[in-house]
Amino acid sequence: MNIHRDKTVTSGSDSQIGRIAAGAQYLFTRSRLSQQSAILIIGVLIGLAAGIGVAVTKLMLIGFHHLFFIYGKYVLGFMGDYYVILLPALGGLLVGPLVFIISKEARGHGVPEIMQAMVQQGGRIRARVSAVKALASALCIGSGGSAGPEGPAAQIGAGLGSAIGQLLRLSDNRIKALVACGAAGGIAATFAAPLTGAFFALEILVGDLSAEAFAPVVVSAVTATAFIAGTGIGPIVSLHTPKTGFSGYGELPLFVLLGIIAAAVAVSFTRLLTTFEDLFERLPLPKMILPAIGGLGVGCIGAFYPQVIGSGDETILGIICGHSIAWGLLLVLLGLKLIATCLTLGSGGSGGVFTPVLFIGAALGGVLWHLSEWVFPSVMTPAGTYGMVGMGAVLAANAHSPITAILIVFEVTHDYYLILPLMVACVTSVLVSRLIYRFSIYNVRLVRQGIHFELGRDTRLLNEILISDAMTTDIISVAPDTSVRELAHLFETTKHHGFPVVDGSGKLRGCVTITDVRNAGPEGLNKLVKDIATHDLVIAFPDENLNDGLRKLGLRDVGRIPVVAREDHRRLLGLITRKNIISAYNRALMRRHTRLEQTQDEEHFE
């Protein structure tokens, strides 16, 4: 029987991988100190891989920018200055096949795809995603698409972390930790900002600032930053500015106002991006050409306002350095950058929202400074300060992540005196944005797909749902005397990762997983299932709640456990998996949200 290589070990090279994996498993099954040391070492490797990935992406961005804007100008010279109109469309024609045929995960801004992989696939990301994302985002941004490199960098790093975790055949929980490490390294290397990268991963992806999650993520972020700085390659986005400062407490109300306006702008951006995604999805055209259509729209804007082309970091730098830009132009750029970004990403282009959000926030801060100076001539804080605080406020409201927003501005400026207005504006913007719209720009797409998974789980809700309501009863089982070769074929055809072992009388005798087959090696293909299965099982009962199920899944760090009758532990009733628990939780959460909205509507009607 011809068995796919990623399902079981069939060659000498795979045997070597098996030995590496066995060594990693040995480290992880010894003392707690060994486990922590191993994960830190792997965190360093992932940080290095993320740094290399970001460096390659930067070189591709530079190369494609020269290709489109230098050689493109030469080829399209007959159009004069309007040659820019066609460049993002040409880039979109190349991006379309990449993101709609080769890897759909590479479309859009990347972070929702990471979150979805962590929720639904145990952190497993296809190996091709990192390569396709790097190429697609470099093409999109390099040809003038309005997007940033940080989302792709996070997805590239996350994909590398996932690949390393899968190569070492680690558990779902540890693969998720390595995905967070990779994302942290990607963001950190993009901005040369290790704190920002670490807290981005912890605050948005992990939702946990505990010491256990903190250490490997920080190590990865620091390693990626050190690689970018030490090799002289430098970050993709460099926004280092002279210190500007903050004049005094009397202007704090203006920063509260900035936070309120930033929340409204951020929510508008999230809603508009969703609207554009829907509009492009409904177009009766081949999906592959949609990025070209979006690119054509961006090119039309860029022909008259070239500041919105690409990531726009040069314009951001001009605003926060205090360069004199009229408030009317800033307001126009704010609106056009928002539309251009929605055209690029809504049509299926590849890139991040982080840098466009910083652009919009800097422009908003600049507009408010001009108006404040006109109304209150006593305003002494420089325009650059308002631009930098505006960046943080809009980012915090968009991502619902105040810590990340505060840290990136602080790491960019190294100006401690900005902390107070930053904290005031960012906290205000997050509170107001959540009142207006409860979803962030990163989780709104997941919610629209029916994935109502919140990083801060409501454990009370999990206590209310019984395992009997969440377990699957459509079970494929294998007999103890089934050969491992037949079992490998079953794994390959069903795409499942584990089966209960049930004898001829219907009694549960154990469980066998795809990892058991891999660990058996080539010589194990002639063994029987009963020889490699786990017989000392963790079991669950149908009258237990989902919290009990989660604890038992974590007890052995397994992906599924059998549900049996209390009166007969050999009578199999079903299986409970992490995916079952998440699905049941999401359904309950949706019902609760629906009841809440109905109650609010009734109260409003009354």
Neighbouring residues of 345: CB distance < 8 A, sequence distance ≥ 6: 108, 109, 147, 273, 276, 277, 351, 353
- Looking at per-residue pLDDT, the higher value among 303 and 112 belongs to 303
Pairing of strands 560-564, 508-513: unpaired
- Looking at per-residue pLDDT, the higher value among 278 and 415 belongs to 278
**Distance of alpha carbon 110 from alpha carbon 93, whole angstroms:** 20
**Distance of alpha carbon 389 from alpha carbon 369, whole angstroms:** 11
Rounded to the nearest 5 percent, the helix, strand and coil shares of the chain are 70, 5, 25
Q: pLDDT class for 90, splitting at 50, 70, 90? A: very high
Q: What is the pLDDT of residue 396?
A: 94
Say whether pLDDT at 449 is over 70. Answer: no
Neighbouring residues of 85: CB distance < 8 A, sequence distance ≥ 6: 79, 296, 299, 300, 302, 303
Q: What is the pLDDT of residue 472?
A: 87
Stretch 48-66: mean pLDDT: 91
Which overall architecture, per CATH, does domain 249-448 show?
A: Orthogonal Bundle (1.10)
250-259, 321-330, 587-596: lowest mean pLDDT where?
Answer: 587-596
Q: Are 234 and 228 in contact (CB under 8 A)?
A: yes
Say whether pLDDT at 352 is over 90. Answer: no
79-88, 247-256, 385-394, 454-463: lowest mean pLDDT where?
Answer: 454-463
Say whether pLDDT at 451 is over 90. Answer: no
CATH 1.10.10.10 correct for 12-230:
no
Say whether pLDDT at 359 is over 50. Answer: yes
Pairing of strands 498-502, 572-577: unpaired
Amino acid, single-letter form, for residue 578: R
Q: What is the pLDDT of residue 413?
A: 77
Say whether pLDDT at 190 is over 70. Answer: yes
- Looking at per-residue pLDDT, the higher value among 587 and 293 belongs to 293
Q: Which residues pair with 522 in a beta bridge?
A: none
61-65, 116-120, 157-161, 361-365: lowest mean pLDDT where?
Answer: 116-120
Q: Which of 203-207, 228-232, 520-524 has the highest mean pLDDT?
A: 228-232
29-43, 45-59, 185-199: lowest mean pLDDT where?
Answer: 29-43
Q: Where do the structural domains in the chain lie, given as residue ranges?
A: 12-230, 249-448, 459-585
Stretch 568-574: mean pLDDT: 89
Say whether pLDDT at 143 is over 60. Answer: yes
Percent of the chain at pLDDT > 70 equals 86
Q: State if pTM tops 0.95.
A: no
Q: What 3-state class would DSSP assign to 440?
A: coil
Question: What sections of 501-570 are H helices per DSSP?
Answer: 514-520, 529-532, 546-556
Q: What is the pLDDT of residue 460?
A: 57
Q: What is the pLDDT of residue 601?
A: 45
Give pLDDT tens digits for 27-40.
554 545 456 677 88
Say whether pLDDT at 18 is over 70. Answer: no
Q: What is the pLDDT of residue 34?
A: 58
Q: What is the pLDDT of residue 6?
A: 36
Say whether pLDDT at 169 is over 60. Answer: yes
**Distance of alpha carbon 606 from alpha carbon 604, whole angstroms:** 5
Say whether pLDDT at 513 is over 90. Answer: no
Pairing of strands 572-577, 560-564: antiparallel
Q: What is the pLDDT of residue 2?
A: 34
221-235, 256-270, 460-474: lowest mean pLDDT where?
Answer: 460-474
Stretch 573-591: mean pLDDT: 81
Q: How far is CA 68 from CA 144, 306, 566, in A?
A: 8, 14, 68
Q: pLDDT class for 455, splitting at 50, 70, 90? A: very low
DSSP state of 455: S
Say whether pLDDT at 282 is over 50. Answer: yes
- Looking at per-residue pLDDT, the higher value among 262 and 457 belongs to 262
Q: What is the mean pLDDT of the chain?
A: 82
- Looking at per-residue pLDDT, the higher value among 370 and 598 belongs to 370
Q: How far is CA 149 from CA 214, 242, 356, in A?
A: 24, 24, 10
Percent of the chain at pLDDT > 90 equals 29
Q: Which residues pair with 576 in a beta bridge?
A: 561
Give pLDDT tens digits for 530-558.
888 888 888 899 888 887 887 787 666 67
Q: What is the pLDDT of residue 605?
A: 41
Stretch 478-493: mean pLDDT: 88
- 573 alpha-carbon distance from chain centroid: 36
DSSP state of 202: I
Q: pLDDT class for 423, splitting at 50, 70, 90? A: very high
Residue 285 phi, psi dihedral angles, 5° rounding: -130, 160
DSSP state of 356: H
Q: Are 261 and 300 in contact (CB under 8 A)?
A: no
Q: pLDDT class for 52, splitting at 50, 70, 90? A: very high
**Distance of alpha carbon 417 from alpha carbon 388, whole angstroms:** 12
Say whether pLDDT at 603 is over 50. Answer: no
**Distance of alpha carbon 320 from alpha carbon 365, whole angstroms:** 9
Tell me if 12-230 shares its fold with 459-585: no
Q: Which helix (H) or strand (E) holds 17?
A: helix 12-28
Quote the CATH superfamily of domain 459-585: CBS-domain (3.10.580.10)
Place of tokens 């960046």: 391
- Looking at per-residue pLDDT, the higher value among 590 and 70 belongs to 70
Q: What is the pLDDT of residue 129?
A: 85
Say whether pLDDT at 258 is over 70. Answer: yes
Q: How far is CA 514 from CA 114, 273, 496, 511, in A?
A: 24, 40, 8, 10
Say whether pLDDT at 334 is over 90. Answer: yes
Q: What is the pLDDT of residue 9?
A: 37
Q: What is the pLDDT of residue 47?
A: 92
Q: What 3-state class would DSSP assign to 69?
A: helix
Q: For residue 139, how many C-alpha atoms fall within 13 Å in the half-sphere facing its CB?
A: 25
**Distance of alpha carbon 145 from alpha carbon 152, whole angstroms:** 14
Say whether pLDDT at 454 is over 60. Answer: no
Stretch 320-337: mean pLDDT: 88
Both tokens of 396, joined, read 């915090």
Say whether pLDDT at 476 is over 80. Answer: yes
Say whether pLDDT at 342 is over 70. Answer: yes
Say whether pLDDT at 339 is over 60. Answer: yes
